[in-house]
Amino acid sequence: MPTSTHLTSSFWSVEALAPLGGFGTLILIGLLLRFIYKRAGSLYFLRDLIWRSFGGTTEFNSHSQLNTLRKELREIEFFRYEFNIPANNLHEASLAHRWIVDNGFAPGDLSRNRAYIDWSDFNAPRFATARFSQGRFKGFFILFIVLFALIAPLPLANQSEYMMVRLKNDQESPAFYLSQQDIKFEMWFPDEKLTLDQCRSSERLAPFTRYMQEEKLDTICSLFMAPDYAAQVEKGVKGQRALLSGFAAILFLGLLLTVLKLSRMDRAQKLYNYWQAKAASPAAPTPTAPSPAGTGAE
């Protein structure tokens, strides 16, 4: 639509999807590597893969004592990735195992709640209660409500036949909405819609001057005169729907992550309460390894 291209600028562009897709792929790869590194604490496996691809050997000399150290590095990386416990050596891994057994925890409970356990001292691990306090729980619950409120109207907006634009040379003017049949100036339930017939008379344009001055309305009316107006609006609506779908997917992902965060905080609170009750119980058995039960609870 030559006329509309010069007179209006759209908030939506199909051409923007290609670079966004490329950046999205790089971001996903980066997030995957970050997840593995954060969980395993290292990327020895990736270094080994690169090393082997250039013909490097996978072991030291068969009589070298360094093979034991190499195997320990791999064991520790595998232990951290498997159980999500940041042990630095096999001794700390053994202490963590005994603490889990002595307190009757399931390994999966701790691997899903690493953020809420303080492993700074493997002789006496503790729960980081400040990370699942009531204040933080309420904050994430408010975030859940906000994300839900943002995503709720998107399905309705995505079905709209209107494309949101504004005057290109007058960015101070409010946005308006084009469809193949008419133009509206309010997003939801407008009282009146501007049509080609109304553009032919100043009297019939008068009700719309509460949105814009008459000369700007004349400019907007000229959009109807473009020969490919309907085709360009249809193209713009498709781009708008594509970007709204992408935005909805991001919000939905944020919603899922927030729900996951809330569920893990709730689970961490229950584990902490169980740990507190076990430590305070006079019938608690003597631990086989140092544990928080012998040092007092938070």
Determine contact, residues 219/167, Cβ cutoff 8 Å: yes
Structure confidence at residue 169 (pLDDT): 73
Q: How many CA atoms lie within 13 A of 241 on its CB side?
A: 13
Query: How many residues are there in the chain?
Result: 298
Q: Which of 261, 251, 256 is nearest to 140 (CA)?
A: 261
Structure confidence at residue 114 (pLDDT): 82
Structure confidence at residue 198 (pLDDT): 87
β-bridge partners, 117: 127
Domain boundaries, the chain: 158-251
CA 131 to chain centroid = 20
Task: Report pTM.
Answer: 0.66
Structure confidence at residue 207 (pLDDT): 87
Q: Which of 245, 190, 231 is nearest to 3 (CA)?
A: 231
Mind listing the pLDDT tens digit of every residue in the chain (298 residues)? 344 445 565 555 545 555 655 666 777 787 777 777 676 666 767 777 676 676 666 666 666 677 777 788 888 888 888 888 888 888 999 999 999 888 888 878 788 888 899 998 999 899 999 999 999 999 999 999 999 999 988 888 888 888 888 887 777 778 888 888 888 988 877 778 888 888 888 888 888 888 888 888 888 888 888 888 888 888 888 888 888 888 899 999 999 999 999 998 999 999 999 888 887 776 545 444 444 444 343 3
CA 268 to chain centroid = 22
Structure confidence at residue 292 (pLDDT): 41
Q: How many CA atoms lie within 13 A of 194 on its CB side?
A: 31
Query: Which residues, including other chains, have CB under 8 Å from residue 167's CB and lie 6 or more apart?
Result: 7, 8, 9, 173, 216, 219, 220
Distance CA 129, CA 275 (A): 12
Q: Residue 199 to residues 175, 192, 226, 256, 279: CA-CA distances in angstroms?
A: 18, 13, 14, 48, 80
- Dig out the tokens for 21 from the structure: 């897709």
Quickly list H helices, 41-113: 44-53, 66-83, 90-102, 107-111
CA-based end-to-end distance of the chain: 68
Structure confidence at residue 55 (pLDDT): 65
Quickly list H helices, 202-282: 202-205, 214-221, 229-280
